Structure 1
Amino acid sequence: MGDSGYTLIYDPNSASKTSVSEFKTLLEKGKDDAKVDAMKKILITILNGDPLPDLLMHIIRFVMPSKNKELKKLLYHYWEVCPKLDENGKMRHEMILVCNAIQRDLQHPNEYIRGNTLRYLTKLKEPDLLETLVPNVRQCLEHRHAYVRKNAVFALHSIHKVNDHLVPDADELIYKFLYDESDSVCKRNAFVCLGDLNRDAALQYVQDNIAIIETLDPLIQLAFIEFIRRDSIANPTLKSQYTELVTEIIESSSNVVVYEAANALTVLSNSPQSILLAGSKFVDLATKEADNNVKIITLERINELHRSNPGVLQELSLEILRVLSSQDLDVRKKALEVTLQFVTSRNVEDVVKLLKKELQKSSSANEEKSAEYRQLLINAIHQLAIRFVEVAANVIDLLLDSMSDLNTTAAYEVITFVKEVVEKFPALRKSIITRLITALPAVKSGKVFRGAFWIIGEYAHEESLVQEAWRYIRASIGEVPILASEKKASEGVTSTDDSVQNGGSDHSGAKKGPVVLPDGTYATESALTAEVTNVTDDDKPPVRKQILSGDFYLGAVLSSTLVKLVLRMQRLKAQQSVLNALKAEALLIMVSILRVGESSFAAKKIDEDSADRILSYIKVLNDEEDKELIQSGFLDDTKDAFRAQIETAELKKAEEAAKDFHENAEQVDDSISFRQFDKDGGKSSSSIDDVSLASGSSLKKEDLSSRLNKILQLTGFSDPIYAEAFVKVHQYDVVLDVLLVNQTTTTLRNLSVEFATLGDLKVVDKPATANVGPHGFFKIQTTIKVTSADTGVIFGNIVYDGQHSDESTIVILNDVHVDIMDYIKPATCTESQFRKMWNEFEWENKITIKSQISTLKEYLDELMKGTNMNCLTPGAVIGEECQFLSANLYSRSSFGEDALANLCIEKQSDGPIIGHVRIRSKGQGLALSLGDRVASISRKNKAAATVKV
C-alpha cells in the first residue's frame, strides 16, 4: 500500500557473469527447469544494475507461452523490473505483447492466476500500460471468487494512485462494492482503500454501520479503528464522537480488536473513564489470553498507562493479581511488579490478604518453580510492609507463621526483611521480637538462626525481652556442657544388659535394655527415662543439632548474641545476681561449644575463625576494665553500620527515582521543539531530525583516525596478495572490513575469501568472488554473528585461480580474536540474588594474583576497568587503611549471561598484592574468558625504576 520498496539481491559470484548470448541460448533450447534457473540469474543481474534490454523479445517468445507455475511467477517478477522504455523515453513496442499476455491472465479461468496478476498490477507504475488493463480490472471486481475480488480492489486503488484519470470514479466504485460485498476480507480491503481515496465516503460508511458495529467482523472492526486513529489526528473536533465509537467496538468478542481498541482509546481520550476502561480491558486480556507473551505485553501496556496517568488505575490492582493464576514465572513476576506500583494505603490491606492466600497456596503446591514463586511473593510483601507501616505488623506475623514451610533462601529473606522493619519502625520492635522468638522453634536452617540471633542481640532493648530471648536460647541448646551430656547420652543409649554383665566393655549392643546410671544402679523405667534412652537426632534441640552437625559459624553468632544480651542487661542496670548468673551461663555455653568442636561428637572439627571469635567473646565477658568501650562496640557500632547500610540503599533508590523523574519531566518554560522542522542537525538533545535519526548521521560521529589503531594485518607483505581487516563490533555481530591488494603483475581470477570460526561465532554471509587486476585493490565485508560472550577466533584463507584452470593458490590468513569485553557490561543485583546465583552456577575459575600495583583500591579499580565489572560491596567496606580487601563484582553480557566474581586480596607490608579472584558463570566460556582478562591485569607491573650504574 505504501511507496515502492527496493530489493537487494546478493550475487555470490560477481567474477563469472553469464553473457546475453548464453542467456538467449538457455531460453531457446532449455527445458522448463533450465529456464527457471536462467530467469533467476537474469533477475539477479537486472537487480544488480545491468538492465539486459536485448532479452525482452526472447523472454516473450520462449518463456511467456510456458504453463509452468514457477516460471510464470518469475515472469511477473521480470515484468516488474525489466526496462519498459526505449532510449527516447517512449514505451517499447514489445510491451504491447506483454499487455496482451497480462490481459489474457486477467481473464484466465483459474482464479489464482487472476489474483496473482492483479497483485502484480499494484506494482506497475506506467500509465500507458495500465490504461488498456482497467476494463479487465473492473470486471474482476464482480468475479465469483473472493480471492480475485480482494486483489481487484487493491489493484484499482493502486491504478488510481498512479493516475487518477485512468479510474476517475474509483471511490464511487469501491463505495458501491462495499455495500454489495459479503466477504469480510474483501470488505476490509475495500474500506482501507476507501479511507485513503475518499475520507467522507469512508466516514459515511462508518456512520451507516454504527448500529451494528459490535456484530461486524473483527477484520472490519480493526479497519474502522485504524481509520479512526488516523482521522482523529487530522480532525481533532471529532475525537469525542470517535471515543464513543471505540467504546462500543471495545466490547468485541475478538481479543485482537479489544487490544487495538484499548490502545486507540488511550490515544483519543485522556479522561479517567476512558483510561480506566482501556486498563480494565488490558487486565481482561492478561487473564483470559493463553499466550504468555500477550500477558506480558498487556501488563506492560497497563504499566505505561499508569505512568502517564498516575492514580487512575489504582482500583485495578486486585484485578491484575488474578494473572497470578498463570503457571509462568515471568508473567507472575510482571504482574507483581505492576501491582506494587498501584498500591495505596486504601487498598494495601486487600492486596496483602490476596498475596497471603497465594503464599499459603504455593506452600502446599508441588510445582517446579514454587520455591522461586514464594520468594517473589515474599519480596512483594516485604516492599509493601516497608512502604505502609500500618500493615507491617500483620505482614510480619504472616511471614513468621509461614517460615516453617519455606525453603532456606525464602526463610532467610523473611529474616532479612524483619531486620529492616525492626530498624525502621522502633514502635514495632517489642512485638516483632516476641513474635520472632515464638516462631524460631519451627526453623530448620542455621542461616536463618544466625539472622534471628543477630536481630535479638541488637534490638532486645528491654529486660523482659532479654529474659524471654535467653530462655529460648537456653532451651534451643539443651543440656550443657554439651560434650558431657552427649557422652552421657551415648553411653546410656549403648548400654545394654550384656554390657552390664561384661563390666560395661561392650558398646555394640542394641539400643533396648536396662539403663545403667553413673552410680552403677539400674534406672527405673519411666516416661522420662524412656525419652532419654532414645535420643535421636530429631529429638535434639535445634541449635544444638546445628552445632553438632558442624555449623560453628552459628556457634560464633550465638556467642556474640549472648555477649550482647549480657552487656544489654549491664546497661539496663539489672540486679547483680541476675547478671552474674547470665554471665556464668553464657561462659558455660561458649566453652561448651569450643569443647564439643574439638571432640569426635561434632560432624567436623571447629574452624579456626569461629574458635578465635568465641575465645575473644569469652575474654570480652571477663574484661572489667574497658566496659564502656566494649559496650559501645557491641551495642552501638554494629547497629549504626546496619543503619548506614539501609540509608545507603534508600538513597540509591531515591536517586534512581529522581533520575527517572528528571529524564521524563519537562520544565514549564522549555521551548517546544518540532523535530520535523529542525534541520540544523539538532542543537538540543531532543531536537533530532527524523531523517538524520533514521540514517544514523545524528549519532556520535566516529573518529576515522581511531580505525587505524584497530586494523589487523591478515597476510605478510611478501605474499602475492596483501590483506588487512578492520574489526567493528556491533551489539550482536562482528563486521570485518577486509582490504585486499594484489601485489603481482597478473590478474588474480575468481578470488574469494573464506572465513571459519571457533567458539560461539557463526559466519553469516560468504564474501563475493571477484577478479582483481595487477596491483589492484578489492574491498569485501563479512558479518559474523555472536551468540555468547565467549572467546571467539576467526580464521580463514584467500583462494584464487592460477594460470591453468585446474590450478588454485591458497593464502592462509592470520587469526582474528574477538574481544569479549565489547559484550560485557557492568550491572547491579541484590545481595540475595548474587548469593543465589553464586550457589547455582557450576563453572568456577579461580585465578591466583600476584601484582605490583601499589594499593588495594587501585587494584580493584584496575580490575573493574579491565573486566567491565561493577563492585557490589558498599564503599564503606573498602577502606584505604586496611591491608586486606574483599569485594563482590558483577556484570552481564549483551546475551543475558551473568558473570560473578569474588575478589580476596591483601597487601604485604614489603611486597606485592597477593590473593585470588574466583569467577563463576553458567557457561564455561565466560568464566574462562574473564579469567584470562584477570590474569592479564595481574601481570601489569608498574614501570620499573631505572638505576644508573
Structure 2
Amino acid sequence: MTVDLQQPAYTLVFDPSRSNANYTITEFQKALERGSDEDRINTMKQILVTMLDGNPLPQLLMHIIRFIMPSRNNKLKKLLYLYWEIVPKLDEEGKLRHEMILVCNSIQHDLQHPNEYIRGNTLRFLTKLKETELLEQLVPSVMPCLEYRHSYVRKYAILAVLSIYQVSDHLLPDAKDIISSFLAVETDPICKRNAFLGLAELDREAALAYLEENMAAIEGLEALLQTAFVQFIRRDATQVPSLKPQYVELLLDLLDSTTYDEVIFDTALALTTLSVNPSVLAKAATKLINLAVKVFDNNVKLIVLDRVEDINNKNPGALEDLTLEILRILNAEDMDVRSKALNISMNLVSSRNVDNVVKLLKKELQTTVANSDKDKSMQYRQLLIKTIHSVAIRFVEVAANVVSLLLDFIGDLSSIAASGVISFVKEVIEKYPHLREDILSNLINVLDKIRSAKAYRGALWVLGEYAESSSDIQKCWKHIRSSVGELPIVQSELKNRSQNSEEDEKEKEALNQRHAGPVILPDGTYGTETAFDFTSNAPTEDPDSRPPIRRFVLNGDFYTASVLASTIIKLVLRFEKASQDITVLNALKAEGLLILVSIIRVGQSSLVEKKIDEDSLERIMCAITMLLDETDPAEKNSEREILDLAYLDATRSSFKSQVAISKRKNAQLSTKNLTKTAEPIDKSIVFRQFTHVESNTSKNDLIEEDLQAAIKGESEKPNKNSITSKLKKIVPLTGFSDPVYAEAYITSHQFDVVLDVLLVNQTKETLKGLHVQFATLGDLKVIDKAPSTNVVPHGFHRITTTVKVSSADTGVIFGNIIYDGGHGQDARYVILNDVHVDIMDYIKPAKTDDETFRTMWNAFEWENKISVKSQLNSLHAYLRELAHGTNMGILTPPEALGEEDCRFLSCNLYAKSSFGEDALANLCIEKNPTSGQVVGHVRIRSKGQGLALSLGDRVALIAKQHDKVILTHI
C-alpha cells in the first residue's frame, strides 16, 4: 500500500470505549436526533473514528448541521471542528458542496464569539482548511481577531493569516505588511514567536531586519522568541552560505548569554550544523554536556548524549579534551545513561588523557562497593570493569595499574564480573610479557578472596601457563598447597566434624543447666520463653571460611579439581625445565599425588552431596598416571614431546591465536570507522580567500534532513525487481469459482500488517451491503473495519485493513465476505482463506557477547528442542540454511567453526524481534559416517513461549524444504 505523504495529517481521535459493533447510517442519524448531549458526544466520537477508518459517511452531513452545529456544548463544539477537518467538502465534480455555505456561516459566527477559547479553536481550524472558496468568505472575520484583547486569540489569528496566504495569496495580498505591523506592536511572547515564524516564511528581508533590531537585547528576550531566531538563522545560513561566519558568531554569543535549556540545546545543534571548526564544536558539546548533567529526565540525558555522539562521529578528534566532562554524567542513576556516557568516552580516550580517565573510573568503582543498592551497584560495577578492560587493552602504560586495581576488587565481585576480570588478566598477561611477573604476584595474593569457581578456574589456567621461572612456580605451588588445606581431606574433615559435635554437646548441657528453673521477672511474675530465645555460642565452622580449592571440592565442584590437576602437571613440567633440583621436583610430584588422590577419595566419600563425575575422575587419574610415570630412557624423549605439546604448547598457542583474532577484528572496526570520515588524497583543496564558501562550515542542514526523514520515513533504494517482489506478496483469499474473488497484498511494517484487499464481483447482479469481516488468532488485533458497500456486476472494490502486531508469535488472520441475499433470503457468506503472518518480518539478526548470551540462556525458561536430520552435503551448509531461514545472527566466530568438511559443529545464534524480544539458539550437529546425513539438535530459548515455538516451526520447515523426494522419472 502506498501512502501519499502530501496529504494533511488530521487530528487522530482515540475512542477509549471501542467496541466491535458496527453502526449503520440510520442508527447514527437517530442518535443525533434524539440523544442527549452526552449521547451525542459519544456518537460524534464514533462517527469520527468510523470516518478516520476510511468511510466518509456523507449521509450524516445534514444531520450534523441540523442537530450538532446549533449546540452550545463546548465538547460538542470541539468535536464538531474535528469533523469539519475530515469531512469531504467537495462533491464528485470537485465543486464546493452547497451544505458548506451553512457551515461557513456558523464558522463566521464563531469567529465573532465572545468566548475567546471558541474563537481560538475556530482560528486553529482555519490553519487546516485548504479550500479557497470557504476561506474567501472568512477573511473579513479573521482580521479583527488580530487586535483582540486576549492573546489566546491573537496567537492563532496570526497563524491563520499565514495559512490563508499560503493557500491562496490573492485572498490576503498584504499579508506580509499585516504580519510586520502585528509584530511591531505585539507584546505577548507566544504571539511574537508565531508572527516571526510567519514573517520568516513570507519575507526573509523583513525577518532579517527584525533580527538585527533585537540582536543587542537578544539575551533578554523570551525563550520562545530566542528559539525562533535560532531556527531562522540555521535555515537562512544553509540557503545563504556567505552569512555563515556571522551567524556562527551570533550563535556563540547567544550560547554564552542564554539561560534557557531549550535554547541552549537548539543553539548547540545549530552550531554543529553550521560549522566544523573544532573550537566551535567543543564549545557546543560542552554546553550539551552541562545540560545533560543538569537535567533530571533520563530521556533528555540520552537524547543529549546522542547528539554529542553524532558530533564525535562526524568530526573525529574534535571532542577529545571533553572526555572527563562526559564522564561527569556518570552521576546519573540510570544504567542506560551511564552506559551511553561510557561508550562515548571510550571513543575519545587517547594516550594523553588515559591516566585521568582510569583514575576517575577507579573512583567510580570504589563507590560501587559502598553502595547499598546491590543490584544496581553490581550492574554498574560490571559495566565499569568492562570499560576499564577495553581501556587497558589499548594502552599499555596503564595496563599494570588497571590489573592491580581490578584484582583488589575481585573478592567483592559477582561470578560474572570476577570471570571478566580473570579474562582481562589473561589477555593482558599474554599481550604484555614484561608485566607477567608483577601480574602473577598480584594474582596469587588475591586468589584466596575469589568466591567464583569459574573465575578461580581461569586463575589456575593463568598460573599453569605463565609461571615459567622456578621462583614463580614455587609461589604458585605454595598457594595451591595452602588453598587445599590439611591433607588428607577426608580424615581432616571427619576430625573437625567430631570436634564440633563434642563442643555442641557441651554447649547444650550448659544451656540446660542455665535454664533449668523458671524465669522470674522484676515485678514478681513468671516470664515466658520459646525455643527461639535460646542462643548458642558454640563456634561452628563457616563453609565460606575454608580455602578456595577445599571449598569447591567439598561443594561437589570437581570440574575445578580437574583443572587443578592439569595445572599441577603444567607446573611440574615447567619446573623440570626451569630447575635441575631433583629433590624439589620429587617433592612437588609427591605433594601433587597426595592432593589429587585425596580429592578422588573425598569425591567418592559421603562428605560431599554429589559424587565425583566420570570425566573429572578420568582427568585426575590421567594426571596421577603422568606424575607416576617412570618409563625407560629410550621412550622418554617421545613421551616428553607429546606431554609438552599437550600441556605446554597447545593451549598457549590456541589462546595466542584467539588474542590475535580479537586484535585483528578491533583493527578492522577502527579502520572501518576511520574510512567513514576519511577524505580521499586527491580531493581538491578549497581556498576560502578565492571563494565565498567558508571552509569551516558544514554544507547540509542535518537537523532538517533528520526532520524530513522522521516525517517521510527512511529512503529505500529502488529495487529492480520491485514488481516481482510485490507479486510474491499477493495472497488469494477466495477461489476463482466463488461469487466474489478476493486477493490481498500484504505489507508488513514495524508494528502492524496492512492488508490491501481487492474484491471482484464475478456475478451478473449487484451485490448489496458487501463487507469483509476479519478476525485473528494470536497476538494480533484488527484496528479498523471496512465499511459496507454495493458492488456492480463484474465490478471492483478495494479496501484496506490494518492489523496490529504486539509480539513475534505465529499469528493467523481469517474472516469472511458477507453480502445481502435476494428478497426474503438470508445474507450470503464467502469464507476467506487464512493468512499466516510471517514472523520473519519481525526477526532481525543481532550480536551480543558470550557473557550476555550465557546469562540470558540461564535466565530464559522456555526451550524448544528440535531434532535435526537433513540430507545437506555439509554441516556448514545446514548452518547457513538455518541462519537464513530463521534470520538469526551467528555468534560463534568463523575460526571456531572448523573446516567446511568437518564432522562435528557447535554454534550459538542470536536474534532480536522488533518488539525487543530475545531469541537464542544453540546448534549441535554431526555428520553421520554411515548414512552421510546431518543429525543433531537445535535448542531455542526465549523469554516467551510463542517465539520459541515459532522459530521451532521455521527450523522444522528447513528440513521439509531440503528433504523433498526428487522424481527422476514416472
Structure 2: which amino acid aligns with 1:563? Answer: I
The alpha-carbon deviation at position 181 of structure 1 amounts to 1.9
**Quick one: distance in 2 between partners of 1:80 and 1:779?**
21
SS in 1 for 2:216: helix
User: What CA distance in whole angstroms lies between the structure 2 residues aligned with 1:363 and 1:166?
Assistant: 72
Q: What is the aligned partner in structure 2 of residue 546 from structure 1?
A: 552
Of 428, 431, 450 in structure 2, the residue corresponding to residue 443 of structure 1 is 450
Shift of 1:913: 4.7
d(CA) in 1 for partners of 2:885 and 2:649?
Answer: 39
Most deviating of 459-468 and 910-919 = 910-919
1:74 and 2:80 aligned: yes
3-state DSSP of counterpart to 1:782: strand
Asked if 1:473 is matched to 2:476, the reply is no
The separation in 2 between residues aligned to 1:231 and 1:855, in whole angstroms, is 62
- Give the letter aligned to residue 939 of structure 2: R
Cα distance in structure 2, aligned partners of 1:939 and 1:94: 63
Counterpart amino acid of 2:406? L
Match of 2:265 in 1: 259
- Find the counterpart in structure 2 of residue 537 from structure 1: 543
Deviations along 1:496-538, one digit per CA (max 9) or x if unpaired, are 8xxxxxxxxxxx966899xxxxxxxxxxxxxxxxxx9965534
Pick aligned residue for 1:918 from 930, 933, 939: 939
Alignment of 1:156-305 (within 5 A): 156-161=161-166, 167=172, 169-250=174-255, 251-305=257-311
1:338 aligns with: 344
Q: Which has the higher contact order (CA 8 A, sep 6+)?
A: 2
Change (3 A) 1:66 1:401: closer
Contact 2:734–2:740 under 8 Å retained in 1: yes
Q: Which residue of 2 aligns with 1:928?
A: 949
For 1:806 and 1:243, how far apart are their aligned partners in 2? 78
Residue identity in the other structure for 2:185: D
Distance (Å, rounded) in 1 between the aligned partners of 2:89 and 2:207: 38
> What residue in structure 2 maps to residue 595 of structure 1?
601
Q: Does 1:313 align with 2:319?
A: yes
Q: Which residue of 2 aligns with 1:525?
A: none
- CA deviation digits over 1:433-492, x for unaligned, max 9? 110000111111111110100111111121111110010011000122323333343445
Distance in 2 between residues matched to 1:81 and 1:94, nearest whole Å: 12
Aligned partner letter, 1:237: S
- Distance in 2 (CA, whole Å) between partners of 1:131 and 1:315 is 60
Aligned partners of 2:106 and 2:455: how far apart in 1? 84
| Counterpart residue number, 1:640 | 653
Measured at CA, do residues 593 and 109 of structure 1 come closer, stay the same or move farther in structure 2, by a change above 3 Å?
same
Q: Distance in 1 between matches of 2:279 and 2:679?
A: 26
Q: Is the 8 A contact 1:295 1:331 kept in 2?
A: yes
Are the aligned partners of 1:760 and 1:790 in contact in 2 as well (CA < 8 Å)? yes
Verify the 8 A CA contact 2:25 2:60 in the aligned structure 1: no
- Looking at structure 1, the residues matched to 82 and 893 of structure 2 have their Cα atoms a distance apart, in angstroms, of 68
Matches within 5 A, 1:413-432: 413-432=420-439
Q: 1:665 to 1:893 in 2, by over 3 A?
A: farther
The one-letter amino acid paired with 2:947 is L
Q: Quick check: 1:187–1:220 contact (8 Å CA) kept in 2?
A: yes
The alpha-carbon deviation at position 564 of structure 1 amounts to 0.7
The C-alpha deviation readout for 1:643-685, integer Å capped at 9, x for no partner, is 111222222233333334445555466899xxxxxxxxxxxxx
Distance 1:25 1:446 in 2: 77
Between the aligned partners of 1:107 and 1:347, the Cα distance in structure 2 is: 67
**Counterparts of residues 567-578 of structure 1 (less than 5 Å):** 567-578=573-584
Residue among 893, 910, 921 paired with 1:874? 893
Structure 2 distance, partners of 1:743, 1:3, is 35
Looking at structure 2, the residues matched to 54 and 534 of structure 1 have their Cα atoms a distance apart, in angstroms, of 87
- Separation in 2 of the partners of 1:735 and 1:420? 52
1:846 and 1:916 in contact (8 A); partners too: yes
Question: Per-residue deviation at 1:740?
Answer: 4.3
Distance of 2:371 and 2:279 partners within structure 1:
39
Q: Verify the 8 A CA contact 2:32 2:67 in the aligned structure 1.
A: yes
Q: Which of 489, 493, 498 in structure 1 is aligned with 2:496?
A: 489
- What one-letter code is carried by the residue in structure 1 that aligns with 2:910? Y
Q: Which TM-score applies when normalising by structure 1?
A: 0.84
1:502 match: none
Q: 1:112: which partner in 2?
A: 117
Percent same amino acid at aligned positions?
Answer: 52
In 2, distance between residues paired with 1:889 and 1:159?
58
Contact 2:123 2:156 in 1 (8 A): yes
Equivalent pair of 1:213/1:248 in contact (CA under 8 Å)? no
User: How many Å apart are 1:884 and its aligned residue?
Assistant: 3.6
- SS of match in other structure, 2:556: coil
Q: Which residue of 1 aligns with 2:812?
A: 793
Task: Give the equivalent residue in structure 1 for 2:515.
Answer: none
CA spacing shift, 1:109–1:423, aligned 2, 3 Å: same
The answer on 1:762 being equivalent to 2:781 is yes
Q: Aligned partners of 2:406, 2:312: CA distance in 1, in Å?
A: 30
Q: Quick one: distance in 1 between partners of 2:365 and 2:669?
A: 30
* Cα distance per residue 1:199-223 (max 9 Å; x no partner): 2332222222223211211011111
- Is the partner of 1:422 in helix, strand or coil? helix
Give 1:729's aligned residue: 748
Distance 1:561 1:347, change over 3 A: same
Q: Which runs of 5+ in 2 are unaligned?
A: 14-18, 510-537, 686-704
- Residue of structure 1 equivalent to 2:8: 5
Alignment of 1:356-371 (within 5 A): 356-367=362-373, 368-371=375-378
2:527 maps to which residue? none
Find the aligned partners of 2:684 and 2:442 in 1 and give their Cα distance.
58
2:922 paired residue number: 902
State the 1:42 CA deviation. Answer: 11
TM-score (norm 2): 0.82
Render the CA deviation track for 1:5-55: whole Å, top value 9, x for unaligned: 376999x99x99979xx9999999999899997999799999989998998
Q: What is the alpha-carbon distance in structure 1 between the residues aligned to residue 727 and residue 51 of structure 2?
A: 36
When structure 1 is superposed on structure 2, of 268-277 and 935-944 the one drifting more is 935-944
**Alignment root-mean-square deviation, CA:** 4.3
1:223 and 1:9 map into 2 onto residues whose CA distance is: 27
**Separation in 1 of the partners of 2:943 and 2:53?**
47
| Bigger Cα displacement from structure 2, 229-238 vs 429-438 | 229-238
Q: In the TM superposition, what is the alpha-carbon distance from 1:301 to its structure 2 partner?
A: 0.8
Residue segments in structure 1 that go unaligned for 5+ positions in a row: 497-507, 514-531, 673-685
2:361 maps to a residue whose letter is L
Q: Distance in 2 between matches of 1:897 and 1:209?
A: 53
Given the superposition, is the C-alpha separation of residues 24 and 469 from structure 1 closer, same or farther in structure 2, using an over 3 Å criterion?
Answer: closer
Q: 1:461 is matched with which residue?
A: 468
The structural deviation recorded for 1:71 is: 5.4
2:54/2:786 contact within 8 Å kept: no
Give yes or no for contact 2:56–2:88 (8 Å, CA) kept in 1: no
CA 1:574–1:741: 2 relative to 1, 3 Å: farther
* One-letter amino acid of the structure 2 residue matched with residue 448 of structure 1: A
Which whole-Å deviations, capped at 9, do the CAs of 1:244-289 have from their partners, x for residues lacking one? Answer: 3222322322211110011111123332222111101110111111
Decide which moves more: 327-336 or 888-897: 888-897
**Structure 2 partner of 1:586:** 592
Determine if contact 1:51/1:82 at 8 Å carries over to the other structure. no
CA distance in 2 between partners of 1:296 and 1:363 (Å):
26
Matches within 5 A, 1:375-414: 375-414=382-421
Measured at CA, do residues 187 and 380 of structure 1 come closer, stay the same or move farther in structure 2, by a change above 3 Å? same
Which sits farther off after the overlay, 296-305 or 862-871?
Answer: 862-871
Q: In 2 relative to 1, CA 25–540 (structure 1 residues): closer, same or farther, beyond 3 Å?
A: closer
CA drift at 1:935: 4.0
In the aligned structure 2, how far is the partner of 1:750 from the partner of 1:274? 67
| In 2: Cα distance, 1:891 partner to 1:138 partner | 60
Partner residue, 1:524: none
Amino acid at match of 2:660: E
* Secondary structure in 1 matching 2:441: helix
Q: SS of the counterpart of 2:217? A: helix
Matched residue, 1:631: 644
Assess if the C-alpha contact under 8 Å between 2:732 and 2:744 holds in 1.
yes
2:913 is aligned with 1:893: yes
One-letter amino acid matched to 1:612: E
Q: Structure 1 residues 454 and 78, CA, compared in 2 at 3 Å: closer, same or farther?
A: closer
